[in-house]
Amino acid sequence: MNLNAVLSEKGYIFPAFDIEKVKAASVKEPEWLHFGAGNLFRAFPAVLQQGLIERGLSGKGITVCEEFDGEIIEKAYTPFGNQHLSVTLGADGSCVKRVVASVAEAFTASGNYQRLAEICASPALKIISLTVTEKGYQSRNLIELIAKLCRERYSAGGEPIALLSLDNCSKNGDVLKAAIAAIAEEWKDGGFCDYLNDSRRVSFPLSMIDKITPRPSEEVAAMLERDGFPHREIFKTAKNTHIAAFVNAESAQYLAIEDKFPNGRPPLEREGVIFCDRETVDRIEAMKVRTALNPLHTAMSIFARLFGYGYVYEAMRDGGIKGFITKLGHDELMPMAVNPGVIDPSAFMDEVINERFPNPYIPDMPQRILCDTSQKMPVRFGETLKAYAEKSPERLSDLTLIPLVIAGWLRYLKGEDDAGNPIELSPDPLLGELKGLSADEILAREDIFGINILACPLAEKVKGMLGEMSAGKGAVRAVFERTATGAFTVKTAFSF
């Protein structure tokens, strides 16, 4: 049986180019090196590059290196010749199944430094990009590795290069530059530091990336198995990465990048990428992560876990949750929103609330969204709180829904849902520390909230909500419903 023929009849799309020819050209003169072999890369950048190859706009693939979790390469790349199946799930029930073959090489960082050094010394290399999540920029091993590779390029002649962060953290390019520069300064190599700081030779473009990409889903695996796709197994690595031969993601996607590539770049605008100036990317990123998506994601997920929902789309069928994030977004986040001009914040938010989050075909889980929440709070809510404090301090004390989110998160940290059942808390680098702190101690942490909440007018409100939420079974829902309708008042003074 010709498996490709069988799957083609079921609508699977196969690469329309000579895979081996592209691989050979990419190995000989690599143009794009990427760190972070996980699901977002496979669902988005890898698919964009495949589109360029199929249009004849590029003859090169991407070299992928995984520094954190080598099992990803072992389980999801090597057995399949670096190909994977991208499953795009539309809110209308549409499903696009595309075999992606744009990865030319894939390997772990361990044991492959010489190959990485060769790639980074190549004059043809245009981009070193990353999807390593916010905490990846705090990894000494990863950042030192990239700094060493930049020094290899400097020593080989100092050809230009763009280091492109594709992670959801504020001013991601600046974060990457600062992390690498800190390592470089330790080496006391003035010439190399000058190279890194010369934007004509080394750039760190800002970017905003947006595509909901949950873990591989058992429901999607079962669908593929019915089609005859032979690789339905989902692996969980020792480092808690969920990976498979396929990746499932939503159809909506946005990518805006500061157009600053000193050695050139692929024409990704032909695949829908927005290239613009630094200020516009900064505004788009601020609009998304502070207002129109990320804070809504976090807020929804906190209460989804407390109310026992396993999937995002299930939580969005709860009228209280949907109404709450709608009100939160439009009433308390939008007044401090940044308008980027090229994307309308209100329209973007309405798409998020009414189409993207409720998409029943995207098996995204609140547990995934709540990973590393302590690292996300400063941007997702702290920036808005700081904006109120600076621009409209008289309105800060009137906020009720952002305090509800904060109180809900503190209640979630108890590890118990609203029915009294134990829940497993999502991984967070501060989780062990936070469990040993009082509410007052947490609320005073400016590194978590952007401001010292304990010293601002919201303290009494947050503590009052938390106290009532902790009163017993069903207490979270009672406070949630009163607050979401604007009826919350602090009934009792609580101390913690």
Q: How many CB atoms lie within 10 A of CB 67?
A: 21
Is-contact 162 153, C-beta < 8 A?
no
In this prediction, residue 385 carries a pLDDT of 97
Residue 286 lies in a domain: yes
Residue 379 lies in a domain: yes
User: Could you tell me if 208 and 324 lie in one domain?
Assistant: no
| Residues 6 or more apart in contact with residue 126 via CB below 8 angstroms | 31, 32, 161, 162, 261, 263, 264, 265, 266
CATH at residue 257: 3.40.50.720
Binned at pLDDT 50, 70 and 90, residue 496 comes out as very low
Tens digit of each residue's pLDDT (9 = 90 or more) over 19-57? 999 999 999 999 999 999 999 999 999 999 999 999 999
Residue 490 lies in a domain: no
Residue 106 lies in a domain: yes
Residue 406 lies in a domain: yes
pLDDT > 70: percent of the chain: 97
Tens digit of each residue's pLDDT (9 = 90 or more) over 65-124? 999 999 999 999 999 999 999 999 999 999 999 999 999 999 999 999 999 999 999 999
Q: Is the pLDDT of residue 189 over 50?
A: yes
| Residues 6 or more apart in contact with residue 119 via CB below 8 angstroms | 30, 33, 63, 125
Q: How many CB atoms lie within 10 A of CB 368?
A: 16
Q: Is the pLDDT of residue 134 over 90?
A: no
User: Could you tell me if 328 and 241 lie in one domain?
Assistant: no
> Whole-angstrom distance between the N-terminal and C-terminal Cα of the chain?
68
In this prediction, residue 1 carries a pLDDT of 34
User: Could you tell me if 268 and 301 lie in one domain?
Assistant: no
Q: Is the pLDDT of residue 406 over 60?
A: yes
Tens digit of each residue's pLDDT (9 = 90 or more) over 264-308? 999 999 999 999 999 999 999 999 999 999 999 999 999 999 999
Tell me the three-class secondary structure of 247-303, residue by residue.
EEEECCCEEEEECCCCCCCCCHHHHCCEEECHHHHHHHHHHHHHHHCHHHHHHHHHH
Buried b (16+ CB within 10 A) or exposed e, 326-354: bbbbbebbbebbbebeebebeebbbbbbe
Chosen domain end from 257, 276, 295: 276
User: Could you tell me if 217 and 135 lie in one domain?
Assistant: yes
Binned at pLDDT 50, 70 and 90, residue 474 comes out as very high
Number of domains in the chain: 2
Rounded to the nearest 10°, the torsion over CA 35, 253, 402, 433 is -20
User: Could you tell me if 325 and 271 lie in one domain?
Assistant: no
User: Could you tell me if 261 and 350 lie in one domain?
Assistant: no
User: Could you tell me if 436 and 420 lie in one domain?
Assistant: yes
CATH at residue 297: 1.10.1040.10
User: Could you tell me if 312 and 448 lie in one domain?
Assistant: yes
Residue 246 lies in a domain: yes
Distances, alpha carbon 283 to alpha carbons 94, 209, 289, 343, in Å = 32, 13, 10, 10
User: Could you tell me if 251 and 390 lie in one domain?
Assistant: no
What's the average model confidence in pLDDT over 362-375? 94
Tens digit of each residue's pLDDT (9 = 90 or more) over 408-445? 999 999 999 999 999 999 999 999 999 999 999 999 99
User: Could you tell me if 268 and 296 lie in one domain?
Assistant: no
Q: Is the pLDDT of residue 255 over 50?
A: yes
H or E element that contains 234: strand 234-236
In this prediction, residue 50 carries a pLDDT of 98
| Residues 6 or more apart in contact with residue 182 via CB below 8 angstroms | 143
In this prediction, residue 2 carries a pLDDT of 55
User: Could you tell me if 395 and 478 lie in one domain?
Assistant: yes
Average pLDDT over all residues of the chain: 95
User: Could you tell me if 292 and 392 lie in one domain?
Assistant: yes
Joined tokens for residue 470: 């902790």
CA distance 396 to 426: 30
Residue 409 lies in a domain: yes
Residue 453 lies in a domain: yes
| Residues 6 or more apart in contact with residue 28 via CB below 8 angstroms | none
Q: Is the pLDDT of residue 494 over 90?
A: no
In this prediction, residue 489 carries a pLDDT of 52
CA distance 479 to 400: 11
Which residue range is the domain that position 15 belongs to?
A: 3-276
Tens digit of each residue's pLDDT (9 = 90 or more) over 191-229? 999 999 999 999 999 999 999 999 999 999 999 999 999
Chosen domain end from 252, 276, 300: 276
Chosen domain end from 261, 276, 291: 276
